[in-house]
Structure 1
Amino acid sequence: MNDGDNPMSKAHAAPRCTATSKRTGERCKGPAVRGWRVCRFHGAGGGHSPGKDHPSWRHGMRSREWIEARAEINELVREAREIERMLCGSAF
């Protein structure tokens, strides 16, 4: 039988999943999903998008936007304290 005749020849030639078992330490033998290094069982193409549509979304205070906003506020407070130290230090 020719390889062109076997419809599974492409699946057998596909790159293998890189996930390993915690219990045995052996690698998964499943074919990796195209564009991913793992198979569909080990997370290729899965997961939810981040944001309000995620099932574990609570209030958004730890979202990327809030973290960046807090970092900017903290930087402004540091700069204000540095200016205050400079002004108070030169007055005395």
Structure 2
Amino acid sequence: MLNYNEIVKTIELEPITVKDGEELKFRIEILKYNNQYKSQLWRVETYRIASAFGNNDISDEECLIKDSLFLENINEKTIENCVLKSLQNIEDKLLTV
């Protein structure tokens, strides 16, 4: 039997402006895993993409990139605690630099 994690909550943060003026956009997913909750972080990045079909169409597309830099081994007993700890971890690393 395959093991899996269930996504029980998804949060999209408002853009965060960092020191150099760049805006970062994040999505937090809370997953249920063995009666505990863990979080994973996705960063929204924009890429300029050219068509592979040779018609020279170019577009800017948003992509989700898994980001392990800001959330390290967050495991909590409740969804709410997991969300709060995740938000605090991101805030500590981004806004206190």
| Structure with the greater alpha carbon radius of gyration | 1
TM class, shorter-chain normalised?
under 0.3
Greater fraction of residues in strand:
2
TM-score where L is the length of structure 2: 0.19
TM-score where L is the length of structure 1: 0.20
Higher relative contact order (CA 8 A, sep 6+): 2
